[in-house]
Structure formats: C-alpha cells, structure tokens
Amino acid sequence: MEQRDTLLHLFAGGCGGTVGAIVTCPLEVIKTRLQSSGVSFRAFYVPQVHLGTINGGSVVRPTAVSPGLLQVLKSILEKEGPRSLFRGLGPNLVGVAPSRAIYFAFYSKAKELFNDTFVPNSYPVHMCSAGFAAFITNSLMNPIWMVKTRMQLEKSARGTKQMNAIQCAKHVYKTEGIRGFYRGLTASYAGISETMICFVIYETLKKHLAGLRLSSSSGPVHEKATTDFIALMFAAAISKGCASCIAYPHEVIRTRLREEGSKYRYFFQTARLVAKEEGYLAFYRGLLPQLIRQIPNTAIVLSTYEVIVYLLGSRSK
C-alpha cells in the first residue's frame, strides 16, 4: 500500500509539473533575461535629458532605464524569433517531471515522519516537510536547471543555430568541469524558504477550505466537486504569490551565479555586488513575469496533483 501511494504521488507530481512547464515557458525565458546582468540597458535609453553646464549651455545625455516585460518580449521576437521564447524547454521537460515527482514524493513521506514528531498537520510539519523535500530536489536536479538557465540566457540572431541541451551540457563540462553544473546551488538552498512559506500558506488555506466545505456541504463529504479544485487553484496561486514576493531576491542571485564567464562567484559576494552596482531594486528585476508565470504555474501544478491523487486514489480503494 505504501509503495502504491508513493508511486501515485510521483506520477501526480510529474504530470502537474510537465503541464505547468509547457504553458509558462515563454514567461520564464523573459524572467531569466531580466534577472541577468546581460540585459542591455543601453537599448532602452530615454532620450532628450537636458543637463545644464557651467557656461549656461546644455548637453543631452541618455538616461538608462530598466527594460520591462514587453520590451524584452519585443526584443526577443525581433532579434531572435518566436522559437527563442521556448529556449530551455527541453531540459525543463526532462527535469520538471522527475523534480516535481521527487518533491511531492518526499514531501508526502516527510509529512508522515514529522507528523509523528510534531503536532499532526501543524505549521512545523508543513514547513519541515517542504524544506526537506526542496533540499533533496534541489541537490539532485541542479545540473539540469543549470543547463536550462544557460540556454535561456543564450542570445543569437534570428535564423542562426542555437545550442541544444546536450551541446550546452558538453560546453559547461568542457569549460567548467563537474562543478559548473552546481553553480547557483547555494542560492537554490536559500530559496527553500520560498517553498516553505508557500506550502505553509497553501496547507493553511486548504485546511480552511476543507472546514468551510464540511460545514456547508449537505452531501457526502468524500465527494469532491469542481468548485473544490477551483478553490485549490486559487489557494495555490495566493500562496505562491506571497512566497515569491518575500523570497524573490535569491532567484536573481541564482541567475547571476549561472551566467557564463561572469564575475559572480559566491552567494553573498554576488548579493554585495548587485546591491553596490545596481541598487537594491535590482534584486526584484523580473518579478512581474515571475508572478505572471509562477502563480498560474503553481495553480496548475498543485491542482493537477490534487486531481490525479484524488481520482487514482479513489479508484484504487
């Protein structure tokens, strides 16, 4: 029975992650470009800024501004073509199913263990379970995410041949060795806080929704309606949105660490450089496409997971 439940969670988590990755890939590419240090601010000058001089004359200096979501989207479409919006989808599809499967399987197993240690289904249980599952998943999957990020950051003119996932992996190994595949791992560990916050909020909302349904339902409580899954999607969206806003800076640091040939070496060194050279607002570059991507993505992943677990779980009983 335990083995069947584990396989069920593996399958449900994998399906949810795959659907979410395909739907939201273009937004992830835009987000990654915005997070990187390679975004050309010079292409987004605001002209006609007049500055006074000592002799009373004036000079015109362009003022660099941060490019927005639509500007980066337009730049990618014009210079690289629509296919570039799906850069990194290959390793994403290769990695997202096993990563989500591993995550949900370890999360489910950890909840069983921590329920015996803490008050069952309490905040410490959800936080520890989410943190443990995220640590295992990040450690195992970082090489794939590293290749995905490198592919998303690669810029090439429209019509030119771009590296595929295997070529990119070979290039990383040739230039940086095995250690190159684990760049950004420390930032991923820092991002565990986002996962923990997300699941604490999600489980709290889910428990609240279950209580409302129990008090208002006149039919059998074991039967789930379509409205229940819609409510779960909203719960997932709210929880991910809150968590992303709180813990977002680690994503910018992780992207910088994964850039090829960059000056960024370690987590705190990267944080200091970004703050010194670009200001603290730079830690939130790409937040808008991240929220637009992650909120529906998380809603899709978690609701698909819940639906599959419910449907397959109920049929096997």
- Domains belonging to the chain, first-starting first, are 2-38+68-315 (1.50.40.10)
Tokens 């129990």, residue?
A: 214
Distance in Å from the first CA to the final CA of the chain = 10
Decide if pLDDT at 274 tops 80.
Answer: yes
**How confident is the model over 136-145, as pLDDT tens digits?**
999 999 999 9
Residue 111 has pLDDT above 80, yes or no: yes
Mean pLDDT of 121-144: 90
Dist CA 150 CA 257 (whole Å): 11
Span 300-314, average pLDDT: 74
Q: pLDDT class for 183, splitting at 50, 70, 90?
A: very high
- CA distance linking residue 95 with residue 141, whole number of Å: 7
H or E stretch covering 45:
strand 45-46
Contact 267, 253 (CB under 8 A): yes
Residue 237's pLDDT band (cuts 50, 70, 90): confident
Higher-confidence position of 222 and 166: 166
Nearest-angstrom CA–CA distance, 42 and 46: 9
Number of Cβ within a 10 Å radius of residue 42: 8
Q: Could you tell me how far CA 83 lies from the centroid of its own chain?
A: 21
Higher per-residue pLDDT: 292 or 66: 292
Q: Which residues contact 304 (CB under 8 A, 6 or more apart)?
A: 12, 15, 16, 19, 20
Query: pTM for the complete prediction?
Result: 0.75
Secondary structure (H, E, C), 95-134: HHHHHHHHHHHHHHHHHHHHHCCCCCCCHHHHHHHHHHHH
pLDDT at 163: 87
Residue 276 has pLDDT above 90, yes or no: yes
Q: Helices (DSSP H) in the chain: which residue ranges? A: 2-35, 69-79, 89-115, 123-153, 165-176, 185-190, 192-216, 226-247, 249-258, 267-278, 287-315
pLDDT at position 51, please?
46
The pLDDT confidence band at residue 202, using thresholds 50, 70 and 90, is confident
Question: Who has greater pLDDT, 75 or 298?
Answer: 75
Q: Higher confidence at residue 203 or residue 218?
A: 203
pLDDT score recorded for residue 60? 45
Confidence of residue 226 (pLDDT cuts 50, 70, 90): low
Residue-level pLDDT at 297: 75
Would you state the pLDDT for residue 58? 47
Q: What is the pLDDT of residue 99?
A: 83
Q: Which residue has the tokens 């910088």?
A: 256
Each residue of 33-87: pLDDT tens digit? 999 987 654 444 444 444 444 455 444 444 445 678 889 899 899 888 888 888 8
| Number of Cα atoms under 13 Å in the Cβ half of residue 102 | 15
In this predicted structure, the answer to whether residue 197 has a pLDDT above a threshold of 70 is: yes
Q: How far is CA 157 from CA 3, 28, 152, 153, 307, in A?
A: 50, 20, 14, 13, 42
In angstroms, rounded to a whole number, what is the distance separating the alpha carbons of residues 264 and 256?
Answer: 6
More confident residue, 53 or 117: 117
pLDDT at 224 over 70: no
Res 242 pLDDT > 70:
yes
Question: Is the confidence at residue 292, as pLDDT, over 90?
Answer: no
